[in-house]
Amino acid sequence: MESFNSTSLPHMASYADLVKLAHQNPNLSSLENLWEAYYTYWNNDVLATGIITFIAHELIYFGRCLPWIIADAMPGTFNRWRIQDHKPPPSFATQWSCTKYILAIHFIVELPLIVLFHPMMDLCGLKYTSPFPDLKTLATQLAIFFVVEDTYHYWLHRAFHWGPLYRSIHRIHHQYAAPFGLTAEYASPWETLLLGMGTIAPPLVMAHFTGNVHLVTVLAWMGLRQVQAIDCHSGYDFPWSLRRIFPFWGGADWHDDHHRYFVGNYSSSFRHWDILMGTIAGPKNGREKKRRD
Ligand SMILES: [Zn+2]
Ligand SMILES: [Zn+2]
């Protein structure tokens, strides 16, 4: 990054400073200008990418979990939409113990991966300077990432249900047979690392072969993937849930059955792999097993 004068952004930037920076280069949009100023301010691209990615990850994770925590605290209003409404919603103590584990995973496993992302980006030719990608490129790449991750997730998750791998890697994620939003990333460090590759690797591989992937697309992808994972663990299925508009979308209705019956519904976002491979969960399909632990 070299196009901005680092002295133009004081340590405590006022709103007027930000407005000035947002119009510094007339060939760029306000957001692109601020993005450039942000990198100039840190004067260390690895640090700048790490900070924005980790903060975005934390804000999206806990921000998206909050509505589900509120719903769980108001069973009188929301229980009618709970999938496993025969069980009480998770208590505050349960949510708090899950939060502590999630924070440990975020700081110990995910933070180092996030810090390593910038060097990997450089190696694969993933872009991070302005301008941002156009909307058509962004949407096409996001769609490809969703389909590729879902395929990777289906096969690896199915493998994780093989006895030795289940006991050594995947059992922690199945601690809660009635999942709630915070349990989306409740998993062993190995599971976080291996399943996480399905989110991290596709943009890097695509960047290597096309030279046309931007960090902004990766941040959007990471955010959407987090929202998808949290929502499908929420335990709630509403009349307006996405799966009622797009029948191939899994959502909570789909993944809740995976936690409830322990066998079947291995994919992350869509339903097609389980339908094609005959691995739909539930007693009607003869796919119901007792807990292995
Ligand atoms: Zn599983
Ligand atoms: Zn799950």
114-154 pLDDT per residue, tens: 999 999 999 999 999 989 999 999 999 999 999 999 999 99
- The ligand with the least distance to the CA atom of 186 is 2
Is 22 domain-assigned? no
Is 34 domain-assigned? no
Task: Reply yes or no on whether the pLDDT at 52 is more than 80.
Answer: yes
Is 3 domain-assigned? no
Span from the CA of 15 to the centroid of ligand 2 (angstroms): 42
Which pLDDT score, from 0 to 100, does residue 21 have? Answer: 76
Per-residue pLDDT band at 7 (split at 50, 70, 90) = very low
Is 122 domain-assigned? yes
Which pLDDT score, from 0 to 100, does residue 10 have? Answer: 52
Span from the CA of 227 to the centroid of ligand 1 (angstroms): 18
- The whole-angstrom separation of Cα 265 and Cα 292 is 17
Span from the CA of 72 to the centroid of ligand 2 (angstroms): 18
Which pLDDT score, from 0 to 100, does residue 248 have? Answer: 94
Per-residue pLDDT band at 6 (split at 50, 70, 90) = very low
Is 179 domain-assigned? yes
Span from the CA of 55 to the centroid of ligand 2 (angstroms): 24
Residue whose token pair is 């980006």: 121
Is 197 domain-assigned? yes
Span from the CA of 161 to the centroid of ligand 1 (angstroms): 6
Per-residue pLDDT band at 293 (split at 50, 70, 90) = very low
**59, two tokens:** 């804000």
Span from the CA of 95 to the centroid of ligand 2 (angstroms): 16
Name the domain count of the chain: 1
- The ligand with the least distance to the CA atom of 229 is 2
Span from the CA of 159 to the centroid of ligand 1 (angstroms): 9
Span from the CA of 65 to the centroid of ligand 1 (angstroms): 20
**80, two tokens:** 């009618």
Per-residue pLDDT band at 11 (split at 50, 70, 90) = low
Q: Which of 107-116, 259-268, 279-288 has the lowest mean pLDDT?
A: 279-288
Is 186 domain-assigned? yes
Plot region of 256 (φ>0 → left; ψ -120 to 50 → alpha; else → beta):
alpha
Which pLDDT score, from 0 to 100, does residue 285 have? Answer: 60
- The ligand with the least distance to the CA atom of 266 is 1
Span from the CA of 68 to the centroid of ligand 1 (angstroms): 21
Q: Return the percentage of the chain with pLDDT > 90, whole number.
A: 82
User: How does pLDDT run across 179-207, given as a tens digit for each residue?
Assistant: 999 999 999 999 999 999 999 999 999 99
pTM: 0.90
Is 293 domain-assigned? no
- The whole-angstrom separation of Cα 232 and Cα 253 is 7
Per-residue pLDDT band at 2 (split at 50, 70, 90) = very low
- The ligand with the least distance to the CA atom of 250 is 2
Range of the domain at 272: 44-285
- The whole-angstrom separation of Cα 227 and Cα 229 is 6
